[in-house]
């Protein structure tokens, strides 16, 4: 009488268990890496209205301070977007030479100003709804440079998201903020910060100039300045 199942079927349970374990590990690895802000959000670069706002020109070449446009970043949780009147202060007709800035590049600014309308800039950095707003004023007052979160804006023709802004990323900084602390008068001096941090070294052991002293000052203030509890960021 012939056998119902071939002999190799004896190895089927073992092979199935091994294959199932490998498939589970693969699924966990895929979710671990790809289902994260680091993969989905870093590099996000939406198309902006008109010709966009070339930060590499305004910040990199002209040397505009971040606070010229984001005027309330030291006082408010939001880094406000400038109104059209701020833009037209430089880009009104007969205020800039056409051979330096072609009129076609900035016409959308003039049109918005003439129509008394806002420019619908597209937001790049957006936290989930279950997270409180990122308090820019608190971080700026603590000595955290714009560079640490937004990267070298002064070299970006089109601004993109540089960091994941995930919970783990935030907690890593709160647990060891010294690599990102700079003198308060240098917070918006991005090229100085980049140069100093590069000189201090890379990786988790890097230290910014005066970072330890700044951290000591922070630790003398209320504990909410370096929170790690859930309620500090979540509703």
| Rounded CA separation 212/198 (Å) | 17
pLDDT, residue 224, reads 61
Q: State which residues of the chain have pLDDT below 70.
A: 1-3, 201-207, 209, 222-224
pLDDT, residue 204, reads 44
Number of DSSP helices (H) and strands (E) in the chain, helices first: 11, 0
| Rounded CA separation 30/24 (Å) | 10
pLDDT, residue 29, reads 82
SS3 content of the chain, % helix, strand, coil (to 5): 50, 0, 50
pLDDT, residue 205, reads 45
Contact 143, 181 (CB under 8 A): yes
pLDDT, residue 135, reads 93
pLDDT, residue 211, reads 78
| Rounded CA separation 148/133 (Å) | 17
- Alpha helices in the chain, H assignment, sequence order: 12-34, 37-40, 55, 66-69, 84-91, 103-114, 136-142, 146-150, 167-175, 190-200, 211-219
What pTM did the predictor assign? Answer: 0.80
Please give the structure tokens belonging to residue 122.
Answer: 């597209």
């Amino acid at each position: 009488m012939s056998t119902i199942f071939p002999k190799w079927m004896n190895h089927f349970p073992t092979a199935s268990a091994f294959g199932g374990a490998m498939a589970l590990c693969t699924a966990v690895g895929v979710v671990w890496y790809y289902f994260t802000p680091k993969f989905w959000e870093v590099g996000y670069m939406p198309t902006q209205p008109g010709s966009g706002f070339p930060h590499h020109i305004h910040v990199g070449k002209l040397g505009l301070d971040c606070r010229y446009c984001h005027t309330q970043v030291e006082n408010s949780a939001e880094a406000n977007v400038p109104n059209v009147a701020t833009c037209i202060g430089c880009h009104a007709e007969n205020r800039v030479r056409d051979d330096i800035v072609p009129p076609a590049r900035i016409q959308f600014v003039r049109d918005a100003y003439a129509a008394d309308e806002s420019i619908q800039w597209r937001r790049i950095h957006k936290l989930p709804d279950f997270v409180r707003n990122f308090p820019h004023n608190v971080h700026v007052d603590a000595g955290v440079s714009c560079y640490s979160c937004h990267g070298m804006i002064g070299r970006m023709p089109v601004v993109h998201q540089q960091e994941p802004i995930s919970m783990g990323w935030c907690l890593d900084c709160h647990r060891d903020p010294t690599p990102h602390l700079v003198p308060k008068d240098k917070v918006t001096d991005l090229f100085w910060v980049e140069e100093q941090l590069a000189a201090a070294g890379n990786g988790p052991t890097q230290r910014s100039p005066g970072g330890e002293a700044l951290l000591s000052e922070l630790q003398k203030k209320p504990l909410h300045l370096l929170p790690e509890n859930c309620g500090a960021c979540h509703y």
